[in-house]
Amino acid sequence: MKKAFLFPGQGSQRRGMGKELFPQYKTYTDNASDILGYDITGLCEEDPDRLLNQTQYTQPALYVVNALTYLDRISREEPPDFVLGHSLGEYVALFAAGVFSFETGLQLVKKRAEIMGAVKHGGMAALLGLKMEAVKKILQQFNYTGIDIANYNSAEQIVISGIREEILGAQKNFEASGARLYYPLNVSGAFHSRYLQGASQEFGNYVKGFSFAAPKIPVIANVTARPYEDGATADLLTRQIATQVRWYESVSYLLCQDELSFYEIGPGDVLTKMINFIMADPIPAAEMGITPPAPPPPAAVKESVPETRNNVYPLWLDRFIPVGNDGGPQSDIQALAAGMGAAGFRETYGVRYAYAAGAMSYGISSPRQIVRMGKAGLLSFLGTEGVSLAEVEEAIQYIKQQGGPQLPYGVNIGSHPERPETEEELVTLFIRHGVKNVEAAAYLGLSKAIVYYRVKGLYKDNKGNIVAGNHIMAKLSRPEIAEIFLEPPPRAIVDKLLAEGRISAEQAALSRLVPMADDICAVADSAGHTDRRMPYALLPVIRRMRDETVSKLAYATPVRVGVAGGIGTADAVAASFVLGADFIMTGSVNQCTVDAGTSIAVKDMLQEINMQDTDYAPAGDMFETGTRIQVLKKGMFFPARANKLYELYRRYESLDQIPVKDRTQLEERYFKKSLDSVFEEITRQKDPAEISKALQNPRHKMALVFRHYFTVSQQAALKGDVAIREDFQVFCSPALGAFNQWVKGTPLQSWRNRHAEEVAWLLMLGGALYLRDFYLQFAPSSAVNISRPAKQLSSVL
């Protein structure tokens, strides 16, 4: 997939921008200060004299920071296939394309800023919610002859420019005509309008003194919304000052050329937000007079398979792991990775490593991902939350058909005490299709269904050993819940199952001799529902409980205890095994991969996040209790809006009690419709009994309406509905941010090069390498056999 770099213009500046870049690019920074005649670092980092928002300073500062950001970006990856900039940003695009040097570009921007900064008595206003035809009609209807269209940013985002008094006076008529927002901008001039013809001519005279090279990368011009041609640079830059910025058409033009990924290069995310709106409603190719390229014939469309050495490991792995003679990781590292954790885990599930990829709800841990993991000899779990029973069955059938009978995999089951039939249906499905491995999550007590699944699989082999044919891995974060899975299945439930004839007398007897679970996964701070536990406190507590229970009940096979949450780098893997984990489980790192069942829009966002880009919000499915989930925060309104909804729910007893100001905010920004309309929509979807309860209980009605926001946000993220991108609800933990930083500058920086099984190889082999080097620093090489498992290596110390 090709990529386009976008460079923002005036309005994206902020104090502190470029702080991390100036020391790395000192020569460029010093040259910039010499050209400008003032300290560019002081202006951008501290802005002591409050000059950064003045045009003559804003434009040079943004040019320098955007250009350094570009240089830093291409030091780690290939240059883009297209570049374009918004107004001032076009100068950075031209620099990136090799049309002029950094210094020449800054001289041009300095002059442009001085000329434009001297323009007075003009004004501009941003409009949201009106299409171009409507804006033109309003200008004509109210005889606003002094106003021009300055920026055509997207289908319903337009900036007007003109005489200041007329811009301010037009607000009431635009708002009365349907504008969702009319926002006068803090500028001194009527930029990109006829009122800058004089400034444009003055700049044109200055530009004549420069020569320009042909673009090495296609640059889309603001003036024409088409690529620059050789020899046109001076003319286009001159005209741009007093001409409309055709951003909507520029991006739509690129969307007609090829499949593209867009990346904003510079401070802020103004252009990223615009891109999302444009991609949801681009200008049709025919309307722009463009014939889009024909799609490739079906035979040419094939799965992207990473280039490999020895037909197993991808070529990029040698960026992280020393390569052996066979082209794969060194044999000692492979042996150590295969020896980390419990051998019983690998034997039980028939896998290479003591590693599992946990289930992700709403089908994000897709059947395709499960099959790829299984074929690589790795365990992963299919998610069932938010997925219909029919879809679960279809997914299981796909996995069995594609993977064969020996494929290691499991399926998730969640606790539903309010809807026990949900668990019963799933368990019946599991038994019918021979699902032998289940991941049990969110249990506060054992249900009849989960006990039935466990006991139904018990039998004795021909040597008289008890075999648990149905394996359970319990995910939990509380010691009291661990206790119920460490104990045998509850006698009372087993007796009921026996009385109903659902299990045999022998199975009932055997149930007293086995634990409820084969494995317990101690879940630390994680994506989605989380108790925000610290792994280094939680895992030892659960392990000690396990040791005490095994000692007391003398199980033939002890329960294994693993850990999940926060595992996104090799050293985190190593730390988990040193702490005594029998296995590890990953989650968030698998969501940002090719085969994950979420939208491209979400994956594009996730691959850019850092450690600090998650937050906590109320859970939609447990809204009334205030249960928290961990979600993506960067660029999102969702966490703040979800918390606001819960705050209103706690404070008021009904929708009618909510103050007018808050209610208006909910209707205009959160739901984009009246709360009454939301409830009408809910009545068409929910069970009549639920609606009846809501009509009798105003607080329950309020909860249903508020929970609807969570449902819409979740579905929009899964589908990639970029029209409401800021409201996406995306489960995510800091582990993904840590992984992103670790693989920065490598092929894995892009999610399009990530597959869950390759992430697993990297984590496990990287963890083994970390352990090898860690132990060797404490002992002579003769004292340590680096092919031995981590638990044996630890005894050296």
Alpha carbon of 245 to those of 85, 189, 196, 609: distances in Å?
A: 10, 15, 14, 30
Contact of 580 with 541, CB cutoff 8 Å: no
Pairing of strands 379-382, 458-460: unpaired
26, 30, 31, 34 alpha-carbon torsion, rounded to 10°: 180
The position carrying tokens 């149930």 is: 511
Contact of 351 with 370, CB cutoff 8 Å: no
**DSSP string spanning 622-678?**
GGGGT-EEEEE-TT-SHHHHHHHHHHHHHH-SSGGGS-HHHHHHIIIIISSS-HHHH
CB-count exposure of residue 462 (10 Å: 0-12, 13-18, 19+): exposed
Q: Which amino acid is at 154?
A: S
Largest Cα separation within the chain, whole Å, is 98
Other beta carbons less than 10 A from residue 464's beta carbon? 6
Alpha carbon of 616 to those of 604, 662, 770: distances in Å?
A: 21, 22, 32
Residues marked active site are found at 87, 192
Where does 208-360 have alpha helices with state H? Answer: 233-240, 247-257, 270-280, 331-339, 343-349
Pairing of strands 528-529, 308-309: unpaired
**DSSP string spanning 134-150?**
HHHHHHHHTT-TTEEEE
CB-count exposure of residue 299 (10 Å: 0-12, 13-18, 19+): exposed
Cα–Cα dist 317/546, whole Å: 37
Q: Which amino acid is at 768?
A: A
194, 196, 200, 203 alpha-carbon torsion, rounded to 10°: 180
Cα–Cα dist 384/382, whole Å: 7
Q: Which candidate, 71, 13, 21, 56, places its Cα nearest to that of 41?
A: 21
Contact of 760 with 674, CB cutoff 8 Å: no
Query: 181 pairs with which residues across the strands?
Result: 128
Cβ neighbors of 340 (< 8 A, separation 6 or more) are 353, 354, 577, 764, 767, 768, 771, 789, 790
Cβ neighbors of 19 (< 8 A, separation 6 or more) are 44, 45
DSSP state of 63: H
Cα–Cα dist 792/784, whole Å: 9
Query: 414 pairs with which residues across the strands?
Result: 441
Cα–Cα dist 772/336, whole Å: 8
Cα–Cα dist 747/763, whole Å: 15
Q: Side-chain half-sphere of 430: how many Cα atoms within 13 Å?
A: 30
